[in-house]
């Protein structure tokens, strides 16, 4: 069947289903169920604790400058 053979209602339904499938595929976490390596977990915890203690990280502007990007 071709699109030209669809009724307006059938076309609307097809578009709705396509949009719903696309949105669903974008919302799926590809890393769901995967384990974090212990060293990565420790780095994240260390970063979290430093932030909680009031330590500031590197600003986005500084990182952009190091990468040669205009911020």
- Could you read off the pLDDT of 8-58 as tens digits, one per residue? 999 999 999 999 999 999 999 888 899 999 999 999 999 999 999 999 888
Q: What is the predicted pLDDT for the residue at 50? A: 93
Q: CA 26 to CA 52: how far, in whole Å?
A: 32
Q: What is the predicted pLDDT for the residue at 13? A: 96
Q: What is the predicted pLDDT for the residue at 1? A: 81
Assess if residue 38 is contained within a domain: no
Q: CA 71 to CA 60: how far, in whole Å?
A: 8
pLDDT-derived band at 62, boundaries 50, 70, 90? very high
Assess if residue 7 is contained within a domain: yes
Q: How many domains is the chain built from? A: 1
CA angle 45/47/51 to nearest 5° reads: 115
Domain of 18 in residue numbering reads as: 1-28
Q: What is the predicted pLDDT for the residue at 30? A: 86
What would the two tokens of residue 62 be?
């500084």
């Amino acid at each position: 069947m071709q699109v030209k053979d669809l009724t307006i209602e059938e076309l609307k339904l097809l578009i709705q289903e396509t949009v719903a499938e696309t949105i669903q595929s974008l919302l799926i976490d590809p890393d769901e169920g995967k384990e974090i390596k212990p060293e990565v977990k420790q780095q994240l915890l260390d970063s979290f604790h430093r932030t909680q203690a009031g330590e500031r990280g590197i600003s986005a502007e500084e990182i952009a400058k190091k990468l040669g990007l205009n911020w």
